[in-house]
Structure 1
Amino acid sequence: MTYCVGLCLNKGMVFMSDTRTNAGVDNISTFKKMTTWEIPGERAITIMSAGNLATTQAVISILSERSKEVAERDPDILSASSMFQVATLVGRTLKEVIAANADAGQRADSAFNATLLVGGQVGDGEMRLFLIYPEGNFVEAGADTPFFQIGETKYGRPIILRAYDPDMSFEAAIKLLLVSFDSTIKANLSVAPPLDVHVYEKDSMKIGRTFRVDADDPYFNEISSGWGDALREAFTVLPEFTFSD
């Protein structure tokens, strides 16, 4: 499985994804699930993936190849005129890849399924973040839903819901997401570091800070232990339960 989060802030966007894939307890690997494209000064696009690895790699490869070959652009993600068109193209490509695999050999209902997060900014348009489903359709983040998660979403969602603030700094957002990922990693063996991070600054039209957080990263370990201590302390100061007579 996997865990990926795209978070919209007033000053930009923060993307974070884990790198673990598994096909059973004896077949665990590490693969990058975040891909970025840019034309500096014109557009910056980030895609994160969850689901069948062969499906997601095929989608990313097709999108990348189309962006290189001018003859294949109809349009591609580097020539689409808006983020909505980018999301439409990615959704169509995902649907085609799933259909092509599902129609070959024995059909399986969900064996080839995948879900994608697509975010970024094109031209003079606004920053936009989309959640793309295996069927190729999608929904867009907004004021009421300013972030999307894919993969193992349930363990890390509560902290984001409680602590998110659209005015928070990039540094605070990264700390928030690290707590969210730590909670997920503690609860599910199918999610694990290294964690890939991309910070996009609004209207910059270029790939921003990108880095990887390893399992032995000192700050990540400090966040992990500190969050555990804070939870235990908060629990002890809550009012005690008493049985009624």
Structure 2
Amino acid sequence: MTYCLGIKVKEGLVAIADTLITSGTETAIKKKIFIEQKDNFSLFIMTSGLRSVRDKAVVYFREQLESQEFNKLYKAANAFGQQIKRVAEEDKVSLEKAGFKFDLNTIIGGQLKDDTEHKLFLLFPEGNWVELEQGAPYVIIGNSGHGKAILNRTLTENTSMKLALKAGFLSFDSTRVSSNNVDFPIDVILYKKDTYEIAEQRYEQKDLQDISAQWAEELKKALEDISEDWMEAAFAKLPHNEKV
């Protein structure tokens, strides 16, 4: 399984991807983010699904970038979607005969020269996509169930990139401690609006273990500080111990 998170706020984009690859009982560490960076062109792609499908689609897309220019991110998203369809035509039948589901979900983010702002897209295995707009500041692909609560409670379009990254890491960490198929290292992508410069950073578990421990302690303290007055009505219905 995979954990890939893309966040869009007014200030820019924040993305996090784990690097754990599982195949049966075998595990390996592999990068799940592809970056294309040049003049007035900043684009990143994160994927969840069959690694063979992902690698083939990315290779085809890279070839397309060598011969074709895109001025808006949605056009690049269309192009990558076409490559997913191309791989499906070539490999879907044989994969399904072998017992594998043709599966590739993709997050594409960035800003190209004629985009008025940074963009974030979610692509489906069929190659079609949706764009994240106001009111939907993030998207997760892969193992998404455990990490949504903190994002839903904290993120808005006005959230700073620093707070978005903080919430994003805690979302990943919640997923990691609840799942055995999501783990460090994680790759972090930062993009600030209109800069056309993508920053990338890898974090090992040792780099963030203190933050994880601090969060666990803060949660315990916050739980203890929650008022208990509302509980009295329920506990009052319990039978009282009588002294013999």
Q: Return the TM-score normalized by structure 1.
A: 0.89
SS in 1 for 2:71: coil
Name whichever of 221-230 and 102-111 sits farther off: 102-111
Alignment check: 8 A CA contact 2:134 2:157 kept: no
Q: Residue in 2 aligned with 1:202?
A: 193
What is the CA-CA distance between 1:109 and the residue it aligns to?
7.7
For the Cα contact (< 8 Å) 1:91–1:137, is it kept in 2? yes
Letter in 1 for 2:81: G
- TM-superposed CA distance for 1:105, in Å, is 6.6
The answer to whether the 8 Å contact 2:95/2:101 transfers is no
1-structure distance, mates of 2:105, 2:95: 23
More helix by share: 2
Equivalent residue letter for 1:138:
W
Matched residue SS, 1:183: helix
Match for residue 26 of structure 2? 27
1:36 has 2:35 as partner: yes
- Kindly provide the amino acid, as one letter, of the partner of residue 61 in structure 1: V
TM-score, normalised to structure 2's length?
A: 0.89
Counterpart mapping for 1:49-198 below 5 A = 49-68=47-66, 70=67, 73=68, 79-104=69-94, 107=97, 111-125=101-115, 126-198=117-189
Q: Which runs of 5+ in 1 are unaligned?
A: 74-78
Query: How many residues of Structure 1 are paired with residues of Structure 2 in the alignment?
Result: 232
Structure 2 unmatched runs, 5+:
238-244
CA-atom RMSD in angstroms: 1.7
Please list, as runs of the form range in 1=range in 2, the aligned pairs for 1:2-13 lying within 5 A after superposition. 2-13=2-13
Q: Does 1:226 align with 2:214?
A: yes
Superimposed CA distance per residue, residues 200-232 of structure 1 (whole angstroms, 9 cap, x where no aligned partner)? 01011232x211010111xx1122111111111
For residues 155-182 of structure 1, give each alpha carbon's deviation from its aligned partner in whole angstroms, at most 9, with x where no partner exists: 1111011111333332222211111111
Superposition deviation, residue 113 in structure 1: 0.7
Higher radius of gyration, 1 or 2: 2
Deviations 1:44-96 (A, max 9, x none): 0010010111111111111112223x3xx4xxxxx123111111111111122
Match of 1:216, SS? helix
Kindly state the Cα deviation for residue 238 of structure 1 after the two structures are TM-superposed.
2.5
